[in-house]
């Protein structure tokens, strides 16, 4: 039996099959090698330590409080009020000007007052003429009418002075008016009251005069005294139309202008001393219960190069709250708090600063950042690094502020706390490379 030789086609198909088997085997080998490399890389990566930032815990001081905005004011300010009704003739200062004690600041128009003085002096001359002409005659009706007019004017002047005294009293009790100006208002009111009584006595004398008797001279004398008293009062007003600085300082709160008609008692300007500053803040009524006069505060002054930390103390706390509108438009009950600035760093009057009020302090506390804590089994825990490995440490936390928390149990002095509990790849037993 003879063997049949393969055909060319069969030989070709066999060779192609052999090449296919070899190519497939090569692909499998390559893929297997890649898989082995990946697995080896994963194992190698899992064996590498994680880079983590840690905090070595030591005993420290804990403080808790709140922050409010405060305005910088001069420690001593003198307010200047308009002493008489009238028009402003001249202003010699502007806001921000430095002035010395006794320097002329404001001048009021005096022409109207001078006209009144001239009228009264003319009445004196007329009165003297009447005295000479009617030395032995009964008082004339015209004199009584004139005296009634003087009484009406005196009553108006007294009403004006009493109203000015009431305004001065309110300003003085609010601490916005110096005692010397309040006493001057009392003096002017007493002077006007005395003048009215003199006028009433004078008209009583006039009405009682029925026949020309020696008392006629007394009558004219009383009228002359009344007119002279009124002239003296007006001349005193003229002297008070030139307002000078009661102390050295910087002009602020100046809102009036030359030519304006200003009623008596209106605030014209304020003079703030340039040495010594205070701050005025308004805190929530609930927060005011946690602070007291004499307590220290931290004050942050914003500058172009960053915040500067200043120190201060609480000087006084208002006994009652007042309703104020917050920056969000909400009504809030707030209490005025006055603080003394103890630092010598230059500040700008009227500027705002942040005041950190301290309501609670503790020493020898173990503190960690609030962000280092995470929920664990119904409580709180920290990631610690012990012997180079990460472990979960349940802890009991105490008081906390905006940044830190007191750890009362579960943490020892000197232990290392991982700051990022969300570190990728973090698990118990994982090696940690401390940064």
Instruction: Summarize pLDDT for 366-400 with one digit per residue, the tens.
Output: 999 999 999 999 999 999 999 999 999 999 999 99
What pLDDT is attached to residue 44? 45
Report helix, strand or coil for 26.
helix
The alpha carbon of residue 145 and the mean position of all alpha carbons in its chain are separated, in whole angstroms, by: 58
What pLDDT is attached to residue 384? 95
What pLDDT is attached to residue 1? 42
- Cβ atoms 66, 355 nearer than 8 A: no
Positions of E strands within 234-351: 242-244, 249-252, 261-262, 267-272, 277-284, 296-303, 306-317, 322-325, 331-341
Q: Per CATH, which fold does 76-108+241-274 belong to?
A: OB fold (Dihydrolipoamide Acetyltransferase, E2P) (2.40.50)
DSSP 345-410: S---TT-EEEEEEEEEEEEEEEEEEGGG-EEETTEEEEEEEETTEEEEEEEEEEEE-SSEEEEEES
What pLDDT is attached to residue 31? 73
What pLDDT is attached to residue 2? 46
Residue range(s) occupied by CATH 2.40.50.100 in the chain: 76-108+241-274
Which residues of the chain fall below pLDDT 70? 1-26, 29-30, 32, 35-47, 134-140, 208-216
What pLDDT is attached to residue 140? 62
Residue range(s) occupied by CATH 2.40.30.170 in the chain: 49-74+276-435
The CATH superfamily holding the domain 49-74+276-435 is: Efflux pump adaptor protein, beta barrel domain (2.40.30.170)
**Listing from the earlier edge strand, what are the strands of the sheet with 249-252?**
77-81, 267-272, 249-252, 98-99
């Amino acid at each position: 039996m003879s063997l049949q030789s393969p055909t060319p086609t069969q030989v070709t198909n066999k060779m192609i099959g052999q090449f296919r088997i070899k190519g497939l085997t090569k692909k499998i080998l390559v893929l297997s090698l890649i898989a082995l490399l990946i697995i080896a890389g994963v194992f190698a990566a899992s064996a590498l330590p994680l880079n983590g930032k840690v905090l070595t815990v030591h005993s420290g001081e804990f403080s808790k409080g709140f922050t409010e905005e405060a305005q910088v004011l001069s420690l001593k300010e003198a307010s200047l009020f308009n002493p008489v009704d009238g028009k402003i003739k001249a202003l010699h200062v502007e806001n921000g000007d430095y002035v010395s004690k006794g320097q002329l600041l404001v001048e009021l128009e005096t022409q109207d007052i001078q006209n009144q003085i001239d009228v009264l002096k003319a009445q004196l001359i007329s009165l003297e003429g009447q005295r000479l002409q009617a030395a032995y005659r009964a008082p004339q009706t015209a004199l009584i009418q004139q005296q009634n007019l003087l009484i009406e004017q005196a009553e108006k002047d007294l009403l004006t002075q009493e109203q000015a005294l009431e305004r001065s009293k309110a300003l003085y009790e609010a601490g916005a008016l110096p005692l010397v100006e309040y006493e001057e208002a009392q003096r002017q009111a007493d002077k006007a009251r005395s003048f009215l009584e003199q006028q009433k006595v004078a008209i009583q004398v006039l009405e009682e005069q029925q026949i020309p008797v020696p008392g006629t001279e007394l009558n004219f004398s009383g009228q002359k005294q009344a007119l002279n008293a009124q002239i003296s009062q007006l001349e005193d007003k003229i002297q008070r139309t030139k307002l000078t600085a009661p102390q050295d300082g910087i002009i602020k709160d100046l809102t009036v202008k030359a030519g304006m008609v200003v009623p008596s008692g209106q605030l014209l300007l304020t003079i703030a001393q340039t040495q010594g500053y205070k701050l005025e803040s308004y805190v929530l009524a609930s927060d005011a219960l946690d602070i007291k006069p004499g307590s220290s505060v931290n004050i942050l002054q914003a500058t172009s190069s960053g915040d500067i930390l200043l120190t201060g103390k609480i000087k006084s706390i208002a006994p009652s709250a007042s309703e104020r509108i917050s920056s969000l438009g909400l009504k809030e009950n707030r209490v005025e708090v006055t603080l003394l600035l103890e630092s010598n760093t230059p500040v700008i009057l009227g500027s705002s600063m942040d005041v950190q009020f301290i309501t609670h302090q503790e020493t020898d506390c173990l503190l960690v950042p609030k962000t280092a804590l995470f929920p664990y089994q119904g409580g709180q825990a920290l990631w610690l690094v012990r012997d180079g490995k990460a472990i979960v440490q349940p802890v009991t936390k105490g008081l906390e502020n905006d940044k830190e928390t007191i750890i009362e149990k579960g943490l020892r002095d000197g232990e290392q706390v991982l700051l990022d509990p969300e570190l990728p790849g973090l698990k118990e037993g994982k090696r940690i490379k401390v940064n």
